[in-house]
Amino acid sequence: EYPIRILAIETSCDETSVAIVEDGQRILSNVVSSQIDIHKRFGGVVPEVASRKHVEGINYILEEALQEANLSLDEIDAIAVTYGPGLIGALLVGLSAAKAIAFAKGIPLIGVHHIAGHIYANQLVTPMKFPLIALVVSGGHTELVYMRDHLEFEVLGETRDDAAGEAYDKVARALHLPYPGGPHIDRLAKQGKPIIPLPRALMDEPYDFSFSGLKSAVINTLHNAARRSEVIKKEDMAASFQEAVVDVLVEKTFRAIVDKDIKHLVLAGGVAANSELRRRLTEKANELDVSLTIPPLSLCTDNAAMIASVAYYAYIKGKWSQLDLNSIASLPL
């Protein structure tokens, strides 16, 4: 029994990443090249710029991932690639590279859903136990997912407007903090008090989320205060906003856990870095005797290793893609 080595490519947003993973768990290399410094000055990701940067970088990053793993393409069993959801131009760069390698080497191509990848970052930490609930919170997504077994995803709820990370970034902008704003709000919130009243949306709906009203409430509160020459401490606004976001995320996650009698919870996506979310989820999980896995930050943000992990389970189940696979900007899980 020799190990299955999968090389994965991820270019769905502003990170160009190539990884090689053995048996869906052992990371041999995971090279991530972030374009964040380029997009920073625009206050967000510029899709056309992202595509161009992926084109410029992909071959070098591929080479680096092979070198780091000390392998040649001849020692790879399959090529995995994120084919959606994401920025269409950005996705196409990774998909084209993946197809070229799969065709040239005569090995299987496996298309992977980006959110499945985020969830499988957990598999790289410790084997997932099923059934489980996954809370995926990133700059582009907020999803509550039920998994009965490997590759069986049921989306219980998702955001109807802004993603949690997107709300963090927009509120940060209103507070004149740099992009991406999540880490800055997290830091400021620790020095403030959650004394400003802000809404918790859709609490009567079972599992869906909405964060755009919260974002607007923050902006309106700041404007009204400025008009009346009142001073609102940034720290207090950060703490109040963060509490509102975390209240909703924790409430709905554990609602799903209790409703479905689940014993395992996994967290994923860039917002998993949030200290208050981690603290509150850990507290509640302990209270209810639920196991909680949170990947290290390097695996929470976009990377190709998580894509390779999903692809391993697709590989052994024979769920391979055809070479006419296309990228899809809004792909359901």
User: Interaction with ligand KG4 in 256-275: which residues (CB under 6 A)?
Assistant: 269-271, 273-274
Whether 20 contacts 9, CB under 8 Å: no
Residue of 17, 301, 321, 327 that binds ligand KG4 (CB under 6 A)? 301
- What distances in angstroms separate CA 96 from CA 79, 118, 150, 232, 311, one per listed residue? 12, 22, 27, 50, 17
Residue positions in the annotated binding site for Fe cation? 114, 118, 302
Residue positions in the annotated binding site for substrate? 136-140, 169, 182, 186, 274
Min CB(276)–ligand KG4 separation in Å? 8
Given Zn ion, ligand KG4, none, residue 194, with its beta carbon under 5 to 8 Å by kind, binds none
| Most distant CA atoms of the chain, gap in Å | 72
Eight-class DSSP state of 162: S
Site size with ligand KG4, rule: CB under 6 A: 19
User: Interaction with ligand KG4 in 137-166: which residues (CB under 6 A)?
Assistant: 138-140, 165
- Interface mask toward ligand KG4 for 193-232; x: CB under 6 A: ----------------------------------------
> Does residue 248 sit in helix, strand or coil?
helix
Q: Which amino acid is at 189?
A: A
Residue 180 preceded by cis peptide, ω within 30: yes
Instruction: Give yes or no for residue 57 binding ligand KG4 (CB under 6 A).
Output: no
Instruction: Give yes or no for residue 168 binding ligand KG4 (CB under 6 A).
Output: yes
Strand order in the sheet with 132-137: 153-158, 142-147, 132-137, 264-268, 291-293
- Alpha carbon distance 110, 54 (integer Å): 20
- Cβ proximity to Zn ion: between 69 and 91 the closer is 91
**Which spans of this chain sit near ligand KG4 (rule: CB under 6 A)?**
13, 138-140, 165, 168-169, 180-183, 186, 269-271, 273-274, 301-302
